[in-house]
Amino acid sequence: MPKTMDKLAQAELSMKQLREQRADLNAHVLYLWDKLIRTDTEHPLHVKESDPHWHISTSVTDRPDSSAKSVLDVLYAADLELHFVWQELEDRAVALENERDLMPALDDASTGDLDGPALRTALDRVRLSVSDAARARELANKVSQLWSEAKMISDLGRVPASMRSNIRVSEQFCDDRRLLDRAHEIIVAINRIGKQTEDAGAGAVGIRNCAMTDCEASGL
């Protein structure tokens, strides 16, 4: 038994050392990846000084507009803003679904009052509330999908393709150019849905690029 315990202790120590070595190696790989992007001007993810920077604005909170140097960075920055929009839509859907002030007119109606104007008005309000709640819920789901993919794309850009393949993602995202293409598509989708979420009373997130050299954010 003592020999077995010694072997087990040695095996556990070896496992610990391997985990530490793997963590150190991963950190070194990420450092070299970041250095490659910053120094290799031909790399698809390299951001040149002359490239446009990005602005992100939101009408959900009083937070000031923020800026980012690259398309992946602006998607990373949009994470919190999209969360706020999603939360507003979720809260609105729940409030509409539970709107009890629409019910008293129905509760107090007698069978002889089924055609009464008060009852018809209440029914119209209920139908409108149900419709608005369904719309808010649908928009919340769409924003949630954009929010999740924006975060995933920005995170994937921070690791080399060899490490992305270890994550359960589409094979296309192991290609840097296709990753960038998808990032731009997500920005278009975020801007497009902004008008709908604002009309639903949940505010909007807007992302735009800016090529102005005298902009305060141009030196990011």
Give domain status of residue 123, yes or no. no
Task: Give the per-residue pLDDT at 3.
Answer: 83
In this structure, the answer to whether residues 56 and 150 fall within a common structural domain is yes
What share of the chain in percent tops pLDDT 70? 80
Task: Give the per-residue pLDDT at 174.
Answer: 85
Task: Give the per-residue pLDDT at 23.
Answer: 92
Q: What value does the CA radius of gyration of the chain take, rounded to a whole number of Å?
A: 26
Give domain status of residue 107, yes or no. no
In this structure, the answer to whether residues 149 and 207 fall within a common structural domain is yes
At 56 the three-state DSSP class reads strand
Report the number of distinct structural domains present in the chain. Answer: 2
In this structure, the answer to whether residues 14 and 67 fall within a common structural domain is no
Confidence band of 112 (pLDDT split at 50, 70, 90): low
What kind and span of H or E run contains 73?
helix 71-97
- State which residues form the domain around 17: 1-39
Question: 54-63 burial by CB neighbour count: b if 16+ within 10 A, else e?
Answer: bbbebbbeee
Nearest Cα neighbor of 135 from 196, 72, 74 is: 196
Give domain status of residue 143, yes or no. yes
In this structure, the answer to whether residues 200 and 153 fall within a common structural domain is yes
Mean pLDDT of 40-56: 92
Residue 30 has pLDDT above 90, yes or no: yes
Give domain status of residue 113, yes or no. no
Residue 220 has pLDDT above 60, yes or no: no
Q: In what order do the strands lie in the sheet with 53-58?
A: 66-68, 53-58, 205-210
Give domain status of residue 9, yes or no. yes
Q: What is the pTM of this model?
A: 0.78
> Of 89-98, 107-116, 158-167, 172-181, which range is least confident?
107-116
**Average pLDDT over the chain, rounded to an integer:** 84
Give domain status of residue 110, yes or no. no
What share of the chain in percent tops pLDDT 90? 47
Mean pLDDT of 70-80: 91
Q: Which residues pair with 210 in a beta bridge?
A: 53
In this structure, the answer to whether residues 8 and 89 fall within a common structural domain is no
Residue 130 has pLDDT above 90, yes or no: no
In this structure, the answer to whether residues 87 and 143 fall within a common structural domain is yes
Mean pLDDT of 35-57: 92
Task: Give the per-residue pLDDT at 138.
Answer: 93
Give domain status of residue 114, yes or no. no
In this structure, the answer to whether residues 66 and 143 fall within a common structural domain is yes
In this structure, the answer to whether residues 94 and 202 fall within a common structural domain is yes
In this structure, the answer to whether residues 27 and 55 fall within a common structural domain is no
At 205 the three-state DSSP class reads strand
Beta carbons within 8 Å of 26's beta carbon, 6+ residues apart: 163
Q: Which residues pair with 207 in a beta bridge?
A: 56
Q: Which residues pair with 58 in a beta bridge?
A: 205
Residue 129, classified by CB atoms within 10 Å of its CB into exposed (0-12), middle (13-18) or buried (19+), is middle
> Of 107-111, 154-158, 209-213, which range is least confident?
107-111
Tell me, what DSSP letter sits at residue 59? S
In this structure, the answer to whether residues 211 and 167 fall within a common structural domain is yes
Confidence band of 156 (pLDDT split at 50, 70, 90): very high
Residue 121 has pLDDT above 90, yes or no: no
In this structure, the answer to whether residues 71 and 149 fall within a common structural domain is yes
Q: How far is CA 127 from CA 116, 133, 206, in A?
A: 17, 10, 32
Give domain status of residue 119, yes or no. no
CA–CA distance, 70 with 48 (Å, rounded to integer): 9
Residue 108 has pLDDT above 60, yes or no: no
In this structure, the answer to whether residues 73 and 149 fall within a common structural domain is yes
Beta carbons within 8 Å of 162's beta carbon, 6+ residues apart: none
